[in-house]
Amino acid sequence: MAGKLWPESRIGASLRTLIAIPIYNERQYVEHVMRRVTAQGYDVLVVDDHSTDGTAEFLVGQPDVDVIRHGRNRGYGQGIIDAFDHAAKWNYDWVVTLDADEQHEPEIIPQFIQAAAAGDADIISGSRYTDVNIHDDTAPGDRRQINGIVTHTVNELFDWNLTDTFCGFKIHRVAAMQKLKLNEAGYAFPLQLWPRAFEHGLKVTEIPVKRIYNDVTRTFGGNLDDANRRLRHYLDTMKRELVRMNHECADSIDAITLDTPLDCCGCS
């Protein structure tokens, strides 16, 4: 994948940027999403996590899109990791990740690239929970609650000021991502990303993105559809990272539940 040469007038023209989309069974959305993404003019990679609903067949017919297809379902996080590795192999500077379910607006990709061009961050993450989002779609209650608990915990642990730790719309510095040696393949991927970003001294900032929920009935599948089990899975992933880092608050993670979210980091 050779990449494109852009005129100097283009925002972020000096930054080789890849747009990466992890996807699994999104046939109802993929055509519209791909049309909007490719219209932005950047190189596009789709990581298909063994879709079985016609998504894979549609992607075969997309001549301007690179596709990595998993031979079995490996998980959301693995799709992101594969995108980072692909970007490193082909010498991209930045990777923008976004979801394929129309919850993210491809038209604001240039805002992420403009923020990256400032050069003062390694991860610029979208936030759906800033003051400008008050009129956006309402998030399903359990998702908002879990996001709030995890975001609070991450901020307490690492002395950050994030507002949304689960938004998949981000831009990542490729060289920085390669340092993290990420291997969390499932939905708990962010709970490995954030501790390792802190451990390696990465700079993380946010920009507002629209909060969109076209289908509030979408599920995670299996045990993760239960909010308590999903939170525990996320927190167990975070605890493993904290133990590995010898973080003094690792054991405090065990006390966090949906009902006791705030008394999480009293060890400091």
Asked if residue 253 belongs to a domain, the reply is no
Asked if residue 137 belongs to a domain, the reply is yes
**Is the per-residue pLDDT at 118 higher than 80?**
yes
What average pLDDT score do residues 75-96 get? Answer: 97
Say what the pLDDT of residue 258 is.
87
Beta sheet of 170-173, edge-to-edge order: 65-69, 43-48, 17-23, 94-97, 170-173, 123-127, 204-208
Asked if residue 250 belongs to a domain, the reply is no
| Pairwise CA distance, residues 28 & 92, whole Å | 30
Encoded tokens for 9: 């007038």
What's the mean per-residue pLDDT of the chain? 88
Please tell me the total count of domains within the chain: 1
The DSSP 8-state label assigned to residue 104 in this structure reads S
Asked if residue 97 belongs to a domain, the reply is yes
> Mean pLDDT lowest for which of 48-52, 59-63, 224-228?
224-228
Supply the CATH number for residue 135's domain: 3.90.550.10
What average pLDDT score do residues 81-94 get? Answer: 98
Asked if residue 224 belongs to a domain, the reply is no
Encoded tokens for 145: 């609650």
What average pLDDT score do residues 109-124 get? Answer: 96
| Pairwise CA distance, residues 68 & 222, whole Å | 25
Q: Nearest-5° angle of CA 23, CA 26, CA 31?
A: 100
**Is the per-residue pLDDT at 256 higher than 50?**
yes
Asked if residue 266 belongs to a domain, the reply is no
Which structural domain range is residue 103 located in?
A: 17-219
**Is the per-residue pLDDT at 264 higher than 60?**
no
The CB density around residue 263, as the number of other CB atoms within 10 Å, is 9
| Residues 201-212 pLDDT 10s | 999 999 999 887
Portion of the chain with pLDDT greater than 90, in percent: 74
**Is the per-residue pLDDT at 72 higher than 70?**
yes
| Pairwise CA distance, residues 5 & 158, whole Å | 39
Asked if residue 233 belongs to a domain, the reply is no
Query: Residues 6 or more apart from 240 whose CB is under 8 A from it?
Result: none
Asked if residue 125 belongs to a domain, the reply is yes
Q: What is this structure's pTM? A: 0.89
DSSP 3-state helix, strand, coil percentages of the chain (rounded to 5)?
Answer: 40, 15, 45
Strand-pair partners of 207: 126
Say what the pLDDT of residue 220 is.
61
Q: Indicate the pairing of strand 204-208 with strand 123-127.
A: parallel
